[in-house]
Amino acid sequence: MSTKLFVGNLSFNTTENDLQDAFAAHGTVVETNLMMDRMSGRPRGFAFVTMGSPEEAQKAIEAMNGKQLDGRALTVNIARPREERAGGGGGGPRREFRGGGGGRGGGGGGRDRY
């Protein structure tokens, strides 16, 4: 059974291959997944590394947490399951927005002003 690790505080220069090489010294690396920003295409500074077994994952945490990689001290721990998030811009009931600026005289919001 494989175990997924969260790896944070990554340098923007770190690649998936760098992670693969660094973690392979501590066990079988099943997968590396460097998270990228959708808009800019740049790395977001964290990744997930899946190790072959819980024992290998624990060895990797002990060896890599706080270790320097590309000039940054890594944060390595067991990845938590992704929390459910409401889809589309903040969740909650959708409201129709009129005008802007809020409060008095902000955007008009459909009023006639003379």
23 touches 60 (CB < 8 A): yes
Q: Which one is predicted more confidently, 114 or 49? A: 49
When pLDDT is averaged across residues 43-60 and rounded to a whole number, the result is: 97
When pLDDT is averaged across residues 74-94 and rounded to a whole number, the result is: 75
State pLDDT tens for residues 14-48. 999 999 999 999 999 999 999 999 999 999 999 99
When pLDDT is averaged across residues 53-78 and rounded to a whole number, the result is: 97
Length of the chain: 114
